[in-house]
Amino acid sequence: MKMYFYLPTRIYSERDCVKKHGTEWAALGKKALIVTGKSSASNGSLSDVTEVLKEHEVPYYIFDETEPNPSVEMVMRVRDIGIQEQVDFVIGIGGGSPMDAAKAIALMIANKDRGADFLYQKEEAAALPVVEVPTTCGTGSEATPYAILTRHDVQIKASLPHKIYPKYALADGKYLLGMRRDIIVNTAVDALGHFIESYINANATDFSRMLCEYGMGIWSSVKNVLIGAEITAEECDTLMFASTLAGMAIAHTGTALPHGLSYYLTYEKGIPHGKAVGYFLPGYLALSGPLIRKKVLSLAGFPDIQYFTAFIHRLLGPMEADEELVTKAVRGMMSNAGKLKNVPYPVTEAMLYQICGMAY
């Protein structure tokens, strides 16, 4: 039996956790930079955060124009604002885009003499304390050290080599209530991708597998809301909880082929992250050994790979990528050493084409 464990984030996953634990997290600094998008104003997350800050007399600056798949350029612009505003901690509110941006901005404010190239330099460096408040049920960024930015210089999304663990993760399912159905679906599929890619992973240990086994069971218990009608408040809590667990899993293993391939679809065609990941899940499962495939399908509540593939196709439709883009993704993936080493078997181009083929 084996375990590699490290996750120095304080995680609260419960209803009203932003306010309930406000005294704790608001003590992180003297002025906060809030990084978010436009929708956090409508789901109540932004006002929960600002109410806590006001109550504790912590001033803050709100940047609410986070772009989807935030770029290095955006991070550098907001970094400058943060320095000018003299903030000493950063709060990310929203999906993966603002949460990842918050980490990168916190790193660059703490290293204010460094240029944008520092983002992708492998070097140990401190970041300002980060608080993450997820409002989707997918990225798990609140429980990982990862930040993925869009690099226009090399025309792809890529993970920073820096590990920026949030100080606090405050996951409240109520922010999912009233969320657009396609966002719920795409992000819940992203969370499933995290479980599957962490489970079928060269870095998996008994501990990360525990998170996946338990988490896929929880995910499975609510998966039918993805093809059904109304989602209850309790189901929102469950989706949010599963998403954070999935983040805890990939925090220990990293992701694998579906994530690696997805970045090309998102960069070239703007396909939402979870959707782009989901396309490749049936193929990644099909390529794995029969025993582990059966186990994963059983844990996630699918009788067989055909049923699973049909479920994913029903949720996402066929992949919107032509031959040229697939070739680009496959070639790019073959040179992505960081992701390839997470796959528990040697990967060939033919395998990647097979995975892509199952996405249509």
Binding site for its own copies (CB under 8 A): 1-14, 171, 173, 205-207, 210-211, 213-214, 218, 237-238, 240-241, 244-245, 248
Q: In this structure, what are the phi and psi dihedrals at residue 300, rounded to the nearest 5 degrees? A: -85, 0
CB 227 within 8 A of CB 182: no
d(CA 197, CA 356): 16
Burial label, 98 (beta-carbon count in 10 A; 0-12, 13-18, 19+): buried
CA torsion 304-310-312-317 (nearest 10°) is: 170
Which residues, other chains included, contact 55 with Cβ-Cβ below 8 Å and sequence gap of 6+? Answer: 22, 26
Is 248 or 271 the residue whose CB approaches its own copies more closely?
248
Is 6 or 323 the residue whose CB approaches its own copies more closely?
6
CA distances from 287 to 16, 22, 276, 345 (A): 42, 46, 18, 10
Q: How far is the CB of 165 from its own copies (least distance, A)?
A: 9
Enter the tokens of residue 232. 């209850």
Is 10 or 114 the residue whose CB approaches its own copies more closely?
10
Is 120 or 207 the residue whose CB approaches its own copies more closely?
207
d(CA 16, CA 96): 20
Is 187 or 266 the residue whose CB approaches its own copies more closely?
187
Q: How far is the CB of 170 from its own copies (least distance, A)?
A: 11
Q: How far is the CB of 114 from its own copies (least distance, A)?
A: 24
Q: How far is the CB of 142 from its own copies (least distance, A)?
A: 11
Q: How far is the CB of 206 from its own copies (least distance, A)?
A: 7
d(CA 172, CA 261): 30
Is 21 or 313 the residue whose CB approaches its own copies more closely?
21
Q: How far is the CB of 5 from its own copies (least distance, A)?
A: 4
Is 24 or 320 the residue whose CB approaches its own copies more closely?
24
CB atoms within 10 A of CB 286: 15
Sheet holding 89-94, edge to edge: 60-63, 32-36, 89-94, 130-134, 168-171
Is 3 or 83 the residue whose CB approaches its own copies more closely?
3
Q: How far is the CB of 266 from its own copies (least distance, A)?
A: 29
Enter the tokens of residue 159. 């993970």
Q: How far is the CB of 254 from its own copies (least distance, A)?
A: 17
